[in-house]
Chains A and B, each alone.
Chain A
Amino acid sequence: MKIEQFDVVIVGAGLSGLRAGLELSTQWNTAVVSKVYPVRSHSGAAQGGINAALGNLEIGKNDTPKRHAFDTVKGSDYLADQDVVMFMCEQAPKIVVEFESMGAPFSRLDSGLIAQRPFGGAGFPRTCYAGDRTGHALLHTLNEQSIRKGVTFFDEFFLIDIIKVRDQVVGIITLDIAKGELVIFRAPYVILATGGFGRIFKQSTNALINTGDGNGAAFRAGVPMQDIEFVQFHPTTLYGTNILITEGARGEGGYLYNSKHKRFMKKTAPEAIELAPRDIVARAEETEVLEGRGIEDAYIHLDLTHLGAEKIKERLPGIREISMLFAGIDPIEEPIPVQPGQHYSMGGIATKYGGDYGETELTGLYCLGECSCLSVHGANRLGGNSLLETSVFGRAVGRRLLENGRLNNVSIEDIKRAENNAIDAVEKLFRRWNDNSGHKPVDIRETMGIVMNKNVGVFRNQRDLEIAYDKLKNLQESFKSVYVSTEDRRFNYGLIRTLELRNMLDLAECTTFAAIWRKESRGAHYRLDFPERNDEIYLRHTLVYRSKDGLDIKTKPVKLGLFEVKERTY
């Protein structure tokens, strides 16, 4: 049995994991473990930008972190924890400038300052960008600095489970994908930064690797999922493949048209129009299609043609490439066919009430970025805030752990016993999967995606959700007899994808369960049978647990106090 020992292990090498790794590596023996090479992480897919009240443009001069925080809280439909939002927005200018100092290739204004563009739900042009490939630029920048600083990486290691002794994390068990061996990382601190889990839906902008591996491991270790019913559907995903078309396309002046060539957003959001927050635009689009005003009864047109070739080539080259490659359309000439698609998980691993940023109920276990619920996005995330969250809290959590000091409160005998148990459990699981003769993983995975899409989508209701929940429970049953060959474990992606499916089934079930519980409409969670927001009962964070009798819900209060809870109009 192979054991690697560290002061802290970070799982995931996207922006969150890399930023935390840079911080912790300055003083501690730190490992960054990822199932893909760091630059393959899904942070690299982010297009539009990162928000910070820099005020680099004349019209943005009066922007402040507090205004940024207000927009974020309002965008969240008042479910975000306001103190955490304020911290993020105050740190934002510093973190963007830090990226710049690291060498990030931001687009520039004529003044030589970092360029900023307008984004949905924002009062000022606040979104700093590098063309329409901001995530790629930032991910590579952090990877470059990690090389410079000599951060220790374990590439192509798959997180299977968290190892704990009582309520203290003591490490993780992983599969070395190349060698096919189980490897234990022993550490008193584990930071999960494994990204989103959009692949529980069939139609998603997410990378195929976004399967919630950290969430699944945390959930099995007894950590609840918080606000997991809040799923962001991005209004402009390419029709068919659901590849993301950045909100920056509307930020740069793009229009949305229905089949009658009407800019339908004018009636939904008379002031913000196309730049209303994502939940609102996605619902408006879905309504157009449901009421027969979709193009070919299926999609909407995102029209950039009036922006002109020069602007498109300069500001949105990636969008043009994607449209030409995957839809055979040049946005300079023709509108882009788009539809809503799953994009982001506002909810995630629950954080402890009154704890440090990212701290969970399990001592030593922290979470960061999309896998976590800190909660800065509440019921709906504003574009440009996810890249911001990753880096601000990657840095903050790294620093906090260094301040808190190393943990050493579990005996080595207890740790070894827990490690042996973990190995035995995984070996048993692999043997069972190999000996089973039941379903193929693909059948379960595809059914799950279709059910989530159809019944737990933009518009929800009790009946559809209950049907979905029953189906998911059946899929969980089917999964018990799932068959996959585990004999040759080297680069066995059939096995890896079955482990991913195990995580996704739990998360799909939790999402649906919480969506049934929340009988109101707030942010991205819209119930046709309960179309109003109900603060009296539901201005609470949900926490989904697995109990002996199935799933269970608890709640915790939302941290208010800075901004008054109001009706949300744009």
Chain B
Amino acid sequence: MKKQQTFLVYRNSGNGKVRYERYEVPLSKGISVLEALFYIQDHYDSTLAFRYACRGAICGSCGMTINKVPSLACRVQISGIKKTKEPKNLPEIKFGDLPKWDQENEILVEPMPNMEIIKDLIVDMDPFWKFYREVEPYLDREWNNNSSESYQSPLEMKKIERLVYCILCGLCWACPVNSENSNYLGPAQLAKADRFINDSRANAEQQRSILNRVLKEDAVPACQKYFVCNRVCPKNVMPGTAIKDIRDKWIKEKD
């Protein structure tokens, strides 16, 4: 096993100047890319900016592009990085002039694609949250102290279970449609819509309200079935399949 690993990291202080910097990080058993970034921040440059929280692939904070593949940094171990396959249909992800990158020996770390870069590996998530809110991502039902438990069969629960696991990390915005259309609602958002449309507890009025939004031009119909979202999703939510579900159920009927 190598003792050191070279990282080639995208830096951008927000004033328009982009640079890539190389750092040597000592290797330890099981070390993840996130831990390596902390090493760089702790020992070389405390201003290196990236988001993080749980380090266990459940909070969705540390989305970034690692060796040209959108990933959660905590979930990528350096020892296993060579096994990462580039997802089919993933558009080329570019952030300006990349210096010579030795793909065999260097790990390239860049921000998430298709979002505005604020500083280093930090992107502007505001559009992501804005579009999330637009799908009315909630059960629209009054609750109070005297609410009673509603029944839901295990089978009905199963229908939404996969969609519930979405951690809203934003990696699915690597979709080629997102790269071309900044108004596209986005795979995670549409998956969330599908989760509430299919909740046996949601009423018809709420279903209609969500559908009104997601059947608009920049939402479900904009999906080109690349299924990049399914491939980059770290939680197997399969947003593309959810979009297909909405399309199959609700668009054909309209025709």
Contact residues of A between 434 and 490, Cβ < 8 Å to B? 440-442, 484-485, 488, 490
A37 contacts B56, C-beta separation under 8 Å: no
- Selecting from A80-88, A130-138, A304-312, the interface stretch reads A130-138
B201 contacts A103, C-beta separation under 8 Å: yes
A44 contacts B59, C-beta separation under 8 Å: yes
A39 contacts B168, C-beta separation under 8 Å: yes
Bound complex: CA A485 to CA B47 (Å)? 8
Bound complex: CA A110 to CA B123 (Å)? 44
Contact residues of B between 113 and 163, Cβ < 8 Å to A? 118-120, 122, 125, 129, 133, 136-145, 147-154, 156-157, 160-161
A45 contacts B143, C-beta separation under 8 Å: no
B212 interfacial by beta-carbon distance below 8 Å: no
User: Do A136 and B58 form a contact, CB below 8 Å, given A101-B147, A493-B49?
Assistant: yes
B57 contacts A208, C-beta separation under 8 Å: no
Closest to B148 in A: A97
B199 interfacial by beta-carbon distance below 8 Å: yes
A101 contacts B150, C-beta separation under 8 Å: yes
Bound complex: CA A136 to CA B154 (Å)? 19
Bound complex: CA A245 to CA B164 (Å)? 20
Number of A interface residues at 8 Å Cβ cutoff, please give it.
62
B30 interfacial by beta-carbon distance below 8 Å: yes
B84 interfacial by beta-carbon distance below 8 Å: no
User: Do A326 and B30 form a contact, CB below 8 Å, given A110-B154, A494-B46?
Assistant: yes
The proximity string for A residues 302-343 relative to B, scoring 1 for CB distances below 8 Å and 0 otherwise, is 000000000000000010011001100000000000000000
B98 interfacial by beta-carbon distance below 8 Å: no
B157 contacts A442, C-beta separation under 8 Å: no
User: Do A140 and B164 form a contact, CB below 8 Å, given A243-B56, A488-B47, A494-B47?
Assistant: yes
B56 contacts A45, C-beta separation under 8 Å: yes
B52 interfacial by beta-carbon distance below 8 Å: yes
- Least CB distance, A206 to chain B, in whole angstroms: 9
Q: How many A-B residue pairs have CB under 8 A?
A: 165
Bound complex: CA A244 to CA B150 (Å)? 31
B164 contacts A105, C-beta separation under 8 Å: yes
A42 contacts B47, C-beta separation under 8 Å: no
B1 interfacial by beta-carbon distance below 8 Å: no
Bound complex: CA A48 to CA B167 (Å)? 18
The proximity string for B residues 2-46 relative to A, scoring 1 for CB distances below 8 Å and 0 otherwise, is 000000000001100000000000000110000000000111001
Closest to B192 in A: A144
Contacting residues, chain A, for B151 (C-beta < 8 A)? 111-113
User: Do A40 and B54 form a contact, CB below 8 Å, given A102-B143, A178-B118, A491-B122?
Assistant: yes
- Prevailing SS type, chain B contact patch: loop
Bound complex: CA A209 to CA B62 (Å)? 13
Contacting residues, chain A, for B133 (C-beta < 8 A)? 147
Bound complex: CA A118 to CA B208 (Å)? 40
Bound complex: CA A41 to CA B118 (Å)? 22
A148 interfacial by beta-carbon distance below 8 Å: yes
Centre residue among B54, B153, B167 by max chain A CB count within 10 A: B54
A442 contacts B43, C-beta separation under 8 Å: yes
B70 interfacial by beta-carbon distance below 8 Å: no
B43 contacts A101, C-beta separation under 8 Å: no
Contact residues of A between 225 and 246, Cβ < 8 Å to B? 240-241, 243-244
The residue that B164 contacts in the complex, of A101, A112, A137, with Cβ under 8 A, is A137
Contacting residues, chain A, for B167 (C-beta < 8 A)? 39, 44, 136
A101 contacts B141, C-beta separation under 8 Å: yes
Bound complex: CA A109 to CA B153 (Å)? 7
B54 contacts A112, C-beta separation under 8 Å: no
A352 interfacial by beta-carbon distance below 8 Å: no
User: Do A97 and B147 form a contact, CB below 8 Å, given A240-B29, A326-B56, A493-B50?
Assistant: yes
Bound complex: CA A108 to CA B153 (Å)? 6
B61 interfacial by beta-carbon distance below 8 Å: yes
- Least CB distance, B14 to chain A, in whole angstroms: 7
A494 contacts B41, C-beta separation under 8 Å: yes
Closest to A241 in B: B30
The proximity string for B residues 167-182 relative to A, scoring 1 for CB distances below 8 Å and 0 otherwise, is 1100000000000000
Bound complex: CA A178 to CA B120 (Å)? 12
Contact residues of B between 54 and 84, Cβ < 8 Å to A? 54-61, 75
The residue that A208 contacts in the complex, of B13, B52, B150, with Cβ under 8 A, is B52
B138 contacts A144, C-beta separation under 8 Å: yes
Closest to B139 in A: A103
Centre residue among A41, A94, A100, A441 by max chain B CB count within 10 A: A100
Bound complex: CA A113 to CA B136 (Å)? 26
Contacting residues, chain B, for A137 (C-beta < 8 A)? 164
B226 interfacial by beta-carbon distance below 8 Å: no
Closest to A178 in B: B118
Contact residues of A between 113 and 151, Cβ < 8 Å to B? 113-114, 130-131, 133, 136-137, 140, 144-145, 147-148
Contacting residues, chain B, for A418 (C-beta < 8 A)? none
The residue that A136 contacts in the complex, of B30, B125, B145, B165, with Cβ under 8 A, is B165
A167 interfacial by beta-carbon distance below 8 Å: no
Bound complex: CA A104 to CA B218 (Å)? 29
Contacting residues, chain B, for A111 (C-beta < 8 A)? 151
User: Do A105 and B161 form a contact, CB below 8 Å, given A100-B150, A144-B137?
Assistant: yes
Closest to B54 in A: A207
A284 interfacial by beta-carbon distance below 8 Å: no
- Least CB distance, B192 to chain A, in whole angstroms: 9
B53 interfacial by beta-carbon distance below 8 Å: yes
The residue that B147 contacts in the complex, of A39, A98, A240, A241, with Cβ under 8 A, is A98
Contacting residues, chain A, for B148 (C-beta < 8 A)? 97, 101
Centre residue among B43, B55, B60, B136 by max chain A CB count within 10 A: B55
Contacting residues, chain B, for A495 (C-beta < 8 A)? 46
Contacting residues, chain B, for A131 (C-beta < 8 A)? 161
Contacting residues, chain B, for A244 (C-beta < 8 A)? 56
User: Do A325 and B138 form a contact, CB below 8 Å, given A178-B118, A493-B41?
Assistant: no
Centre residue among B13, B41, B42, B129 by max chain A CB count within 10 A: B42
Contacting residues, chain B, for A40 (C-beta < 8 A)? 53-54, 59-61
User: Do A491 and B53 form a contact, CB below 8 Å, given A39-B60, A108-B157, A131-B161?
Assistant: no
A130 contacts B164, C-beta separation under 8 Å: yes
A36 interfacial by beta-carbon distance below 8 Å: yes
Q: What are 19 A-B interface contacts by the 8 Å CB criterion?
A: A36-B53, A40-B60, A42-B59, A102-B138, A102-B143, A105-B161, A148-B140, A178-B118, A208-B53, A240-B29, A243-B55, A325-B75, A485-B47, A488-B13, A490-B14, A490-B119, A491-B120, A491-B122, A495-B46
What residues of chain A have their CB less than 8 Å away from a CB belonging to chain B? Answer: 36-37, 39-42, 44-45, 54, 94, 97-98, 100-103, 105-114, 130-131, 133, 136-137, 140, 144-145, 147-148, 178, 207-209, 240-241, 243-244, 318, 321-322, 325-326, 440-442, 484-485, 488, 490-495, 497
Other than the given A102-B139, A490-B119, A491-B49, 9 more pairs (CB < 8 A) read A37-B61, A100-B147, A100-B150, A108-B152, A240-B30, A241-B30, A325-B75, A326-B56, A485-B46
